[in-house]
Amino acid sequence: MKTSALTTGATARAWIGLGANLGARDAALRQAVRAIAALPGTQVLHVSSLYRSAPVDAGGPDYLNAVAEIATPLDAHALLAALQAIEQGAGRERPYRNAPRTLDLDILLYGNQCIATPQLTVPHPRMHERAFVLLPLAELAPEQVSPAALQAVSGQTIDLHHGPAWLNAT
């Protein structure tokens, strides 16, 4: 019987939150999706629309946010390290907590794993407080986002900046 790589246990499904509020934001997010797709053995399965919102618990320009669903053989910590290298390549600086950034890549979900190490907490601890995470995630994985969770963030102002075709823009 033919077995899909996704069912062997060697490949995990993960959802990555992408954000930027400095520089050429859409271009940085587009480049980040390409860089994620170039990680060893990794496929980008789906990418959400692009959303624009004011910084939550932070200052600076408006953010653009999206979510990507990937299949990867990297374990969660290796994936985090790879995402941080992509952030660095995009000129990410960390002068203070929640500072404006050229690129932020967070692991929202990694399969159904719960992870709590000094480097990594999964599910992302603040994802359920944030419309800029839940709206794009609900596009890709509605089963991961309850109506109650969406209702809880419904007071947050967020605009659809571009449909999923944003990824193909030049």
CA-CA distance, 24 to 95, in Å (whole number)? Answer: 20
When asked if residue 139 is in the footprint of Mg ion (CB under 5 A), the reply is no
When asked if residue 87 is in the footprint of Mg ion (CB under 5 A), the reply is no
92 included as an active-site residue: yes
Site for ligand A4P in 11-30 (CB under 6 A): 19
When asked if residue 69 is in the footprint of ligand A4P (CB under 6 A), the reply is no
When asked if residue 63 is in the footprint of ligand A4P (CB under 6 A), the reply is yes
Q: Least distance (Å) from ligand A4P to the CB of residue 167?
A: 18
Helix axes 25-37, 76-89, angle to 10 degrees: 140
In the block, residue with structure tokens 């990418």: 47
130 included as an active-site residue: no
Q: Would you say 5 or 62 has its CB closer to ligand A4P?
A: 62
Number of residues assigned to the chain = 170
Q: How far apart are the first and last CA of the chain?
A: 42
106 included as an active-site residue: yes
In sequence order, which residues have a C-beta less than 8 Å from that of residue 17 and are 6 or more positions away?
Answer: 65, 66, 67, 104, 105, 106, 107, 108, 124, 127, 133, 136, 137
Binding segment for ligand A4P among 3-11, 25-33, 38-46, 100-108 (CB under 6 A)?
Answer: 100-108
Q: Would you say 5 or 93 has its CB closer to ligand A4P?
A: 93
The site for Mg ion (CB under 5 A) is made up of 104, 106
